[in-house]
Amino acid sequence: MQPPRSSYLPLPLMHLSFLFTGAGTLLLGPTLPVFAQHWHLRDAQSGLIIAASFLGLCSGAISVSRNLRLTLLRGYLIAAAAFLMLALTSNRPGGYPAGIFAVYLLGLGLGQVTTSVNLIAAVRYQAPWRRSSALSLLNFTWSVGAVLSPLVAGFSLAHASLFALLIGFSIFATLLLTVMSLLTPAIARSSEPTPAALHKLALLPLAYFFAIFFLYGGLEAALGGWLSTYTLRYTSLGIAAAAYSTTALWAAFAVGRALAAVLLRSIPERPLRTAGVLLATLATVALRGAHTGLGVGACAACIGLGIGPFFPVTFSQLVAQAPSPRQAGAATANVGLGSAVFAYLTGVISTRMGSLHSAMITPVLIAVGILVLCAINIPGRHETST
């Protein structure tokens, strides 16, 4: 069966969707201290909020249906309702239980939107380099949203309130829902060619993508979640300056995706992805020996530059295997699962060994594992560039 024509979207709306989901996904980080203050939370309770977000993202990816348009609109509806629910509970001392549920719903909605748009873009292009390039540009836009998220949150919290920030996101999600619900029926009647069919993927290649996405999510979280803390403990920088190491990571992450969109015109997917992972692996090893702010920042930038193209290129390779939308969603859900597992595991190892420096062996081992998987030919269907 072929995806319905109603699953098509104009490219500008795809980029707008990813700008929104990137900002919405990363919004929890800069606002978590405010939630903790309003709800009088301990660190363990704050940790449950992060876990609820990852669980929601996983659920959103898994719950993608064959009707991509319906999944996309449903995701926006859920996200709009979740932002509204968070806004209404944000100032209530007893709002924590409802807030946990709202954060889960938010992840669910954003996960459905992100996975749907990735699939809509991926099945539109048949040539591998075109598909990877388009996905790299889209995910670059997601990264821009992620970088802008703390800036938007900081400005709003300084000049308005958390309630106003969340209401603003809810209104924006509602506007996107309205625009897309009005435009997609017209797009469905267009003469745009139908993309290649999607089928069920065999167990072996599906397991390969489960594993590689799981490790990728773990690398992203083990580094992104702990980099500022590592910088603060092992360099002379203060709290504010230490946060710039994470900024360097995500900014280079976005640049890596933008460069990939250009380089894929002349470099095949597999060598480009392997070179990026190798750069990230070497930089992760070097990070454990960096003891200055400049050194940590340089390592962070190299890591971001290296792993930035990984998801869009790997997702393109997944689509080349012709999975069903549900299988593709289940595979990408492992990014969130790996993030939750390895972010927590890094903290556990740090506590037991009494050293975050020792615990940073975790992302090194993850990066090596990804590098090994990159060297393996993907079992199953293959395609050639056209």
pLDDT digits (tens, 9 = 90+) for 26-65: 888 778 778 888 898 776 677 678 778 888 888 998 888 8
Statement to judge: residues 247 and 117 lie in one domain: no
Statement to judge: residues 173 and 232 lie in one domain: no
Whether 189 has a pLDDT exceeding 70, the answer reads: no
Statement to judge: residues 114 and 86 lie in one domain: yes
Whether 111 has a pLDDT exceeding 60, the answer reads: yes
What does the pLDDT look like over 293-340, one tens digit per residue?
A: 888 889 999 999 999 999 988 988 888 887 887 888 888 889 888 887
- 276 and 370 in contact (C-beta within 8 Å)? no
CA-based nearest residue to 20, from 144, 161, 107:
144
Whether 188 has a pLDDT exceeding 60, the answer reads: no
Cα–Cα distance measured from residue 116 to residue 108, given in angstroms and rounded to the nearest whole number: 12
Mean pLDDT (the chain, rounded) = 83
Dihedral in degrees, nearest 10, Cα atoms 129, 134, 137, 142: -130
Statement to judge: residues 182 and 207 lie in one domain: no
The confidence score (pLDDT) of residue 319 equals 82
What does the pLDDT look like over 125-155, one tens digit per residue?
A: 766 667 888 888 888 899 898 888 877 888 8
Amino acid at 343: A
Cα–Cα distance measured from residue 362 to residue 359, given in angstroms and rounded to the nearest whole number: 6
| 195 lies in some domain | no
The confidence score (pLDDT) of residue 54 equals 82
CATH number at residue 306: 1.20.1250.20
| 212 lies in some domain | yes
Cα–Cα distance measured from residue 39 to residue 164, given in angstroms and rounded to the nearest whole number: 17
Confidence of residue 187 (pLDDT cuts 50, 70, 90): very low
**What range does the domain containing 59 cover?**
5-127+142-188
Statement to judge: residues 167 and 227 lie in one domain: no
| 368 lies in some domain | yes
Cα–Cα distance measured from residue 131 to residue 263, given in angstroms and rounded to the nearest whole number: 13
Count of domains forming the chain: 2
